[in-house]
C-alpha cells in the first residue's frame, strides 16, 4: 500500500466526505410524540488536498462544519461517506496527525501536572523507552514552545491562556506528528497573544516541516498563516483558492461577504453594506444553493439546484452559477 504513494503525494486527501449526525429526540419521545428521526448533514461532499509542508485553511461562520472537518480528519468522528487518506511520512508509514484545540481552558486536564499532560502521548504511544528519556523529551518540548523546564511541575491553572495554548502545542508535538490540525487555535486568545502563538506555529512549521490544516473564522489570521484557503458555508466548500487570489479576487458572493467584514485599517469608518439574514439552520437547509436566501446576485435557478465546485482560475474553484456563467443579464434581488 505504502509504496504506491510517492513522497510528493499530498499529506492529506479528503475525497467526497460527508458526515451526518443523528440529532433525533430519545426513542421514547419519538414513539410517544410521533416525531420523525432527525438528521443533520454537518459536512456534505467535501473534497480537498493538503500538500506537504503547506498550510491549508478552512474558514466559515460558526456552525458551517469547520470543526467537524477537523474532527473527521483526526479520526475523532467516523465519516458517513467518502474517504480520508494520508500520505507517507517518516519511515514510510502513513502521516501522523495531531490536533490543537480551540479552548485552552478545557483542552488541558485541570488535575494533571503539565509535565504529565505533555508526557501522556509519549507514554501512551511508547515513543521513549525509559522514564528518564520521557522527562528529557518533555523538557525539550517545553523549551521548543517557549516555556521553562520547571513548568512541567505546575498545574494548568497557573498559566495564562496563551501559555496554555503553548502547552497544548507541546502536547500535540509530543507524538511527533507530521500533520497538525488546528481547530481555531487562537480564537480564545487576546490579539497580542494571538500573534505570538501564530508566530510560534510558523516557526515550528519551518523547523519541523509540519503541514497544517488550519480551521478559523478569522480571515486576517488565515491570511497570515496559510497557502491555500477553502471557504465553507453550511457544510459545503463554496470556494477554494490560493490565499492571495482569494483575498484579491474572491469569486463566490459568500467569500466577498466574508472579506467585506474585515475591518479596513486605511478606512475604518467605511460603510459596509448590511447583509441580510443569518446562516440558515443546517436542520432545514434551503433548497438549491444554500447561500441563495442571502445572496445579492441570486438567480432563479439558484433556489432549484445546487451548483458544483468548478474551476474558475488555474488553482481556484468556486461553487456558484453566477460566476460560472458570466453571461448574467439581470441579477435578481433575493426576497427579504
Contacts with another protein by CB under 8 A lie at 71, 74-76, 97-99, 101-103, 106-111, 117, 120-121, 124-125, 135-136, 139, 149-150, 152-153, 168, 171-172, 175
Distance CA 64, CA 43 (A): 8
Q: Order across the sheet with 179-183: list the strands.
A: 97-100, 179-183, 211-216, 55-59, 228-233, 236-242, 317-318, 310-311
Task: Indicate the burial class of 124 (C-beta count within 10 angstroms; 0-12, 13-18, 19 or more).
Answer: exposed
Distance CA 111, CA 261 (A): 40
Question: Is 76 or 276 the residue whose CB approaches another protein more closely?
Answer: 76
Residue found by looking up cell 480551521 in the block: 215
Q: Which residues contact 129 (CB under 8 A, 6 or more apart)?
A: none
Query: Between vectors from CA 284 to CA 66 and to CA 57, what angle results, nearest 5°?
Result: 15
CB of 113 to another protein, least distance (A): 8
Question: Is 175 or 227 the residue whose CB approaches another protein more closely?
Answer: 175
Question: Is 116 or 218 the residue whose CB approaches another protein more closely?
Answer: 116
Neighbouring C-alpha atoms within 13 Å toward the C-beta of 121 = 20
Give which of 284, 319, 325, 323 is closest to 305, Cα–Cα: 319
Give which of 254, 243, 249 is closest to 221, Cα–Cα: 243
Question: Is 80 or 175 the residue whose CB approaches another protein more closely?
Answer: 175
CB of 108 to another protein, least distance (A): 6
CB of 223 to another protein, least distance (A): 26
CB of 317 to another protein, least distance (A): 30
The DSSP-derived string for 211-230 is: EEEEEES-HHHHHHH-SEEE
Neighbouring C-alpha atoms within 13 Å toward the C-beta of 241 = 23
**Number of neighbours of residue 91 by Cβ within 10 angstroms:** 6
CB of 97 to another protein, least distance (A): 8
Question: Is 44 or 168 the residue whose CB approaches another protein more closely?
Answer: 168
CB of 74 to another protein, least distance (A): 6
Question: Is 70 or 243 the residue whose CB approaches another protein more closely?
Answer: 70
CB of 71 to another protein, least distance (A): 8
Question: Is 139 or 228 the residue whose CB approaches another protein more closely?
Answer: 139
Question: Is 5 or 135 the residue whose CB approaches another protein more closely?
Answer: 135
CB of 1 to another protein, least distance (A): 21
The DSSP-derived string for 140-162 is: HHHHHTT--GGGGGS-GGGS-HH
Amino acid at each position: 500500500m505504502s509504496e504506491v504513494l510517492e513522497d510528493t503525494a499530498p499529506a492529506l486527501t479528503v475525497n467526497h466526505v460527508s458526515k451526518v449526525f443523528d440529532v433525533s429526540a430519545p426513542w421514547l419521545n419519538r414513539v410517544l410524540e410521533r416525531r420523525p428521526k432527525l438528521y443533520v448533514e454537518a459536512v456534505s461532499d467535501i473534497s480537498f488536498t493538503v500538500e506537504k509542508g503547506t498550510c491549508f485553511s478552512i474558514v466559515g461562520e460558526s456552525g458551517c462544519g469547520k470543526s467537524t472537518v477537523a474532527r473527521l480528519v483526526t479520526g475523532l468522528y467516523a465519516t458517513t461517506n467518502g474517504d480520508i487518506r494520508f500520505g507517507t511520512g517518516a519511515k514510510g508509514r502513513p502521516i501522523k496527525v495531531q490536533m490543537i484545540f480551540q479552548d485552552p481552558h478545557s483542552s488541558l486536564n485541570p488535575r494533571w501536572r503539565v509535565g504529565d499532560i505533555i508526557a501522556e502521548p509519549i507514554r501512551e504511544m511508547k515513543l521513549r523507552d525509559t522514564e528518564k528519556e520521557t522527562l528529557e523529551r518533555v523538557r525539550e518540548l517545553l523549551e521548543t514552545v517557549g516555556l521553562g523546564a520547571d513548568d512541567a511541575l505546575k498545574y494548568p491553572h497557573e498559566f495564562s491562556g496563551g501559555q496554555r495554548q503553548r502547552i497544548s502545542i507541546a502536547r500535540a508535538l509530543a507524538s511527533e506528528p507530521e500533520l497538525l490540525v488546528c481547530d481555531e487555535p487562537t480564537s480564545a486568545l487576546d490579539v497580542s497573544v494571538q500573534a505570538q502563538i501564530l508566530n510560534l506555529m510558523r516557526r515550528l512549521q519551518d523547523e519541523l516541516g509540519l503541514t497544517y490544516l488550519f480551521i478559523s473564522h478569522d480571515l486576517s489570521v488565515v491570511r497570515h498563516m496559510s497557502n491555500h484557503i477553502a471557504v465553507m458555508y453550511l457544510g459545503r466548500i463554496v470556494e477554494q483558492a490560493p490565499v492571495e487570489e482569494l483575498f484579491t479576487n474572491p469569486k463566490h458572493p459568500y467569500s466577498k461577504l466574508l472579506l467585506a467584514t474585515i475591518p479596513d485599517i486605511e478606512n475604518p469608518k467605511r460603510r459596509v453594506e448590511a447583509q441580510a439574514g443569518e446562516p440558515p439552520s443546517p436542520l432545514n437547509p434551503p433548497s438549491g444553493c444554500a447561500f441563495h436566501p442571502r445572496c445579492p446576485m441570486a438567480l432563479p435557478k439558484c433556489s432549484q439546484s445546487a451548483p458544483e465546485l468548478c474551476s474558475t482560475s488555474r488553482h481556484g474553484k468556486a461553487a456558484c452559477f453566477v460566476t460560472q456563467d458570466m453571461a448574467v443579464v439581470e441579477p435578481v434581488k433575493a426576497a427579504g
